[in-house]
Amino acid sequence: MFKKDKRKRRHRRIRAKIVGTSERPRLAVFRSNKRMLAQIIDDTKGETLFSMTSMSSKGKKPLEEAKEAGKEIAKLAKGKKIEKVVFDRGGYIYTGKVRALAEGAREGGLEF
């Protein structure tokens, strides 16, 4: 199995347990080699409420960019009166950029 296939299998297992509702939407994370992408998704309606990428954040290093992206997505969520979310790490290990994005979102005021 390839590395990408293993991640997709892990993500399917996680998604079987995690569902975003309108009261508590899902914060989904995608990590590429250069950027991080975070989306707040309402799975009951099947729509993405909004998204944020680390491309628009002002950090100089990848970890700083991810943390700033987490803070920005938390600010957008607060604007739509969303305070609690379910964190979906997307099959990635909870270290590095994924952890930095989650910590930034917590610092921004989101509750997991």
Residue range 47-87, pLDDT digits in tens: 999 998 888 777 788 899 999 999 999 999 999 999 999 99
Contact predicate 67/36, CB 8 Å: no
pLDDT of residue 6: 94
78's tokens = 């607060």
Determine the Cα–Cα distance for residues 31 and 75; give it in Å rounded to an integer.
Answer: 20
Predicted confidence at residue 101, as pLDDT, reads 94
Domain ranges in the chain are: 3-107
21 has a pLDDT exceeding 90: no
- Read off the amino acid at residue 99: R
Q: What is the CATH number of domain 3-107?
A: 3.30.420.100
